[in-house]
Chains A and B, each alone.
Chain A
């Protein structure tokens, strides 16, 4: 199994600012995933982050808005840039394990005012 921590757990930010969310895993993993969950909605994949390469973004998400870093096999960051109230969501990172297993972080609850 993998244990994932995220920082911050929650934040309230002003419109137009940026927030960087950190995701730390207790073991080395190849693929890390960043998801967004808007209020009342299900999870939507933002991007897949592999160590040593550019993140792969899903339709509707762009690097300028959600830059991702993956400096090593246990850590990744997601930045939410130039925030607007529509960015208020829970942001989760997850990692894949062996045989299709998935592990999720505790989430970062972001409110943009």
Chain B
């Protein structure tokens, strides 16, 4: 079993839909990251969470430390949101080293 599990693996949505991507992890963590990877390969850091909830524009990320679970929500989705979304955790005591989920490929259509 992977330390970081994401669901769904693939997601297709119509423009305007509310999207949720889930991440579960099995280890103690210092922080959890949500990353966005576009087809060219570059990665953008969306959020870094250690507790609670963060919001940036149409993106919301939540984490429940007790349940070892995080969600990334996209409101009013748009085709430009199409990308791979990756959950990554920093294990407690591993000094910035990340363990990655397998990613969720999101396609938003008109």
For A92, list chain B residues within 8 Å (CB).
41, 43
Interface contacts (Cβ under 8 Å), in number, total 58
For A67, list chain B residues within 8 Å (CB).
none
Most A-side CB within 10 Å, residue of B31, B42, B86: B42
Q: Is the CB of A45 within 8 A of B45?
A: no
The closest CB in chain A to the CB of B50 belongs to A100
A31 in contact with B86 given A42-B102, A102-B33 (CB within 8 Å): no
CB of B86, distance to nearest CB on chain A (Å): 7
Q: Is B14's CB within 8 Å of the partner chain A?
A: no
For chain B, give the interface size range.
Answer: 20 to 34
Count of chain A residues with a beta carbon within 8 Å of a chain B beta carbon: 23
Most A-side CB within 10 Å, residue of B33, B45, B86, B90: B45
CB of A45, distance to nearest CB on chain B (Å): 6
Docked complex Cα distance between A66 and B100 (Å) = 21
Q: Is the CB of A45 within 8 A of B98?
A: yes
Docked complex Cα distance between A96 and B98 (Å) = 10
Main secondary structure of the interface of B (DSSP, over half): strand
Docked complex Cα distance between A94 and B60 (Å) = 24
Q: Is A7's CB within 8 Å of the partner chain B?
A: no
Chain A residues packing against B (C-beta within 8 Å): 31, 33, 37, 41-45, 48, 90, 92, 94, 96, 99-107, 109
**Complex A-B: 27 CB contacts under 8 Å:** A41-B102, A42-B100, A42-B101, A43-B88, A43-B100, A44-B100, A45-B97, A45-B98, A48-B97, A94-B43, A96-B95, A99-B48, A100-B31, A100-B50, A100-B96, A101-B48, A102-B88, A103-B45, A104-B42, A104-B43, A105-B42, A106-B40, A106-B41, A107-B40, A107-B43, A109-B40, A109-B41
